[in-house]
Structure 1
Amino acid sequence: MRELVFALEYEPGCNRVADALADHPDARVRSLSLHATAERLWRVDHATGTPEALDAIEDAFLTGDYYADCLATEDCGATQTTRVLDRTDDTLILYSDWERTPTCASVPHIARDHLGDGVLFETRHEGRHYTWRLIHSGDGDVAAFFDALEVAVGECAQMEMLRTADTTTSAGGRDGTPSGLPPAQEAALQAAVEHGYYESPREVDVGELAEHLDVPRSTLTYRLRRAEEHLAKQHVAGERVAEERLASH
């Protein structure tokens, strides 16, 4: 089995959920389940954020011409259903389902076309960044998948490859860096340290650092956040292993 992780960074006005999340940077949407057949797609998503952020996310999902994960830039004529399964002050759970038409395209459907049946999907949406994690058999044509995806997203989004590896590969260093981070995140973290972003007080803010690296501020913020999350989890996991080893002796 192979793991494939990539991100789409949506331009303003191209994805209603991305626009809502960009207006509420602390909000997140992650998939609880995601399934696709040749003709249909259905998924359940878990959103977190302030009540105002959840209102915006809910409105984006429920808008009539928005179909979850459809890459068509205009109303594709699909028959779709979106409904709220649960809502609290800081969480929102949504169910979405739509029937594919000839003008509809989506990551799961393109994956089925080029990577075969049985692909597993996991997603996380933060700001304009939409991260996809796919587990597939490894027998398909990954290059053809990305070529078709690039055509489908057109100028609405930029693609960034984050990781491709065998699922049995160990976490540390599987992305070509000692930390296990994708090269783009490793570079962002290294630049942040070198330019004093983590000093107290900070010697550079994220906007200045983004300008130095010639990347959008949102992109740099996303890369630093993902790198920090990865390293924090790696550290905690290492501490637990050390404690278990000590306990066993």
Structure 2
Amino acid sequence: MREFVFALEYDPGTNPVADVLEAHPDTTIRSLSCHVTPQSLWRVDHATGSPEALEALEAAYRDSAYCADCLVRDDCGADCETQVLDRSRDTLVVYTYWDRTDVCTSVPHVALEYLGEGLLFETYREGRRYRWRIVLSEDAPIHDFFDALGTEVGECAGMEMLRLTDLDPDRGLEGADDDGTLPDEQRRALRAAVESGYYETPRKIDLSKLADELEVPRSTLSYRLRRAEAALATEFVAEDDSLEAIAPTN
């Protein structure tokens, strides 16, 4: 088995869930399950964020013109069902189901057509970025699938292939680099910030200009840097505690 990981980056106004996530950069969504047949798609998503963000997110899911994962920008006429399974102050669990029309398609439907049955899907969303991980057979025609997906996505989102590797059960969707520290997006953001002088005193570049150079929203860049800084700080403290534990005492 192999895993194929790629990302979509939605343009403003093309996906109501992405719009909410950009407006609330501390909010993320991960899939708990995702299933597809040629005629339908159903999934369960787990979102975390502020009460205000989750309220906006629930409204986006219930938007009459929105069907989860449908790549058609206009109203596709599909019969969609949305149901909240769990709601707390900082958690929202949503079930969605829709039957396809003649014009509907989605990432799972394109995958089913080109990669066959028996696929496992896992997703993670933050800001306008929507990452997909598909577990599939060794001989699946990945490039045919990715080319076909690009045609379906059209101009509403950018696409980026992140990795195609043998299945590693210890590697999560958020995907640490080889050093086991940061997801790809956070590592690139942090490297760009360092190289551009963002962390120097005084700063050589502000966050808005750096976001423009990286062609990402300012809120998304800020969120990635905060996540990266928190991860590195936590790792540093853990390593420091380990060193203290083995340090000789006088």
Change (3 A) 1:188 1:24: closer
CA contact (8 A) 1:19 1:128 kept: yes
Instruction: For residue 62 of structure 1, report the CA deviation from its aligned partner.
Output: 0.8
Give 1:179-194 correspondences, 5 Å limit: 179=179, 186-194=187-195
Rounded Cα–Cα distance in structure 1 between residues aligned with 2:38 and 2:209: 46
Instruction: For residue 178 of structure 1, report the CA deviation from its aligned partner.
Output: 5.3
Rounded Cα–Cα distance in structure 2 between residues aligned with 1:230 and 1:42: 33
Change (3 A) 1:178 1:83: closer
Matched, 1:76 2:72: no
SS where residue 162 of structure 1 aligns? strand
Change (3 A) 1:37 1:222: farther
Change (3 A) 1:49 1:2: same
Rounded Cα–Cα distance in structure 1 between residues aligned with 2:152 and 2:228: 28
Change (3 A) 1:92 1:16: same
Instruction: For residue 89 of structure 1, report the CA deviation from its aligned partner.
Output: 1.2
Rounded Cα–Cα distance in structure 1 between residues aligned with 2:89 and 2:170: 39
Rounded Cα–Cα distance in structure 1 between residues aligned with 2:163 and 2:201: 32
Change (3 A) 1:164 1:222: farther
Rounded Cα–Cα distance in structure 2 between residues aligned with 1:126 and 1:29: 7
**C-alpha offsets along residues 130-172 of structure 1, whole Å, 9 cap, x if unaligned?**
111111113221111111111111110001112211114986x
Identity %: 55
Instruction: For residue 220 of structure 1, report the CA deviation from its aligned partner.
Output: 4.4
Aligned to 2:208: 207
Rounded Cα–Cα distance in structure 1 between residues aligned with 2:14 and 2:139: 32
Aligned to 1:40: 40
CA contact (8 A) 2:25 2:223 kept: no
**C-alpha offsets along residues 77-115 of structure 1, whole Å, 9 cap, x if unaligned?**
212211111111111111001111221110011111111
**TM-align CA RMSD:** 3.0
- TM-score, structure 1 length as denominator? 0.81
Rounded Cα–Cα distance in structure 1 between residues aligned with 2:124 and 2:34: 12
Rounded Cα–Cα distance in structure 2 between residues aligned with 1:2 and 1:222: 30
Rounded Cα–Cα distance in structure 2 between residues aligned with 1:60 and 1:7: 21
- Count of aligned positions: 235
SS where residue 118 of structure 2 aligns? coil
CA contact (8 A) 1:20 1:57 kept: yes
Change (3 A) 1:169 1:32: closer
Rounded Cα–Cα distance in structure 2 between residues aligned with 1:16 and 1:209: 26
**C-alpha offsets along residues 46-90 of structure 1, whole Å, 9 cap, x if unaligned?**
111111111111011111221100101112121221111111111
Instruction: For residue 31 of structure 1, report the CA deviation from its aligned partner.
Output: 0.8
Give 1:143-222 correspondences, 5 Å limit: 143-168=143-168, 179=179, 186-199=187-200, 203-211=204-212, 213-218=213-218, 220-221=221-222
Change (3 A) 1:131 1:151: same
Give 1:203-242 correspondences, 5 Å limit: 203-211=204-212, 213-218=213-218, 220-221=221-222, 224=225
Rounded Cα–Cα distance in structure 1 between residues aligned with 2:113 and 2:138: 13
Rounded Cα–Cα distance in structure 1 between residues aligned with 2:184 and 2:24: 27
Instruction: For residue 217 of structure 1, report the CA deviation from its aligned partner.
Output: 3.3
Change (3 A) 1:184 1:28: closer
Instruction: List runs of 5+ in structure 2 lacking aligned partners.
Output: none
SS where residue 209 of structure 2 aligns? helix
Rounded Cα–Cα distance in structure 2 between residues aligned with 1:32 and 1:116: 21
Rounded Cα–Cα distance in structure 2 between residues aligned with 1:216 and 1:151: 23
- TM-score, structure 2 length as denominator? 0.81
CA contact (8 A) 1:115 1:138 kept: no
Rounded Cα–Cα distance in structure 2 between residues aligned with 1:112 and 1:226: 34
SS where residue 152 of structure 2 aligns? helix
